[in-house]
Amino acid sequence: MTVSDMVQDHQGRCAPHLARLWMLAGGPSGAPLRPCGVQQIVEATGAILAEVRAAGNSLPLSVGRGGPGTALVPRGAPGSVPRPRRAPGSVPLLTARLNRLENAARQMIDSAQKGDAVMLREQIARFDALTAAIWTVHLSECGRHANVTARR
């Protein structure tokens, strides 16, 4: 299985969770979410973030640090701060995208807990868009790595 296949596999596992978020927010306008709905939103959001992080950890960083096969250090682990790279790459972009996605997740969960269905739908749309954007960056990193490896 290639790195690109692994990233696409993680992306595919996110789709049911995103659909679940939309389903939970699709109730009648103004109707408060049930407590179990809020918990389900928290769980689906956590599952999506876990898949995004796992996909990022499977990406090789071929330029500037570590060489082919080196993975991102898990968030919160010693040495998890991205190190500078000699060539422009997407590690800073991945970090920024992940931070944005985590912030959107917090805002979405806050909206769900407040029972604001309109804001929840807006936050899910934002979270969905940011999730799509981070998958684009992940897959472009796979392509960039393949090009670097092919030139060696």
The CATH number for 25's domain is 1.20.120
77 domain-assigned:
no
Cα 47 → chain centroid:
10
pLDDT in tens, the chain (152 residues): 788 888 889 999 999 999 999 998 887 666 677 789 999 999 999 999 999 998 888 776 543 333 333 344 444 444 444 443 433 345 677 888 899 999 999 999 999 998 888 899 999 999 999 999 999 888 888 776 554 444 44
**Domain hosting residue 100, numbered range:** 3-72+88-151
The answer to whether 109 and 119 have CB atoms below 8 angstroms apart is no
The answer to whether position 81 is within a domain reads: no
Q: pTM of the full predicted structure?
A: 0.73
* Total domains present in the chain: 1
Distance CA 52, CA 114 (A): 26
Does residue 79 fall inside a structural domain?
no
Does 83 map to a domain?
no
Does 82 map to a domain?
no
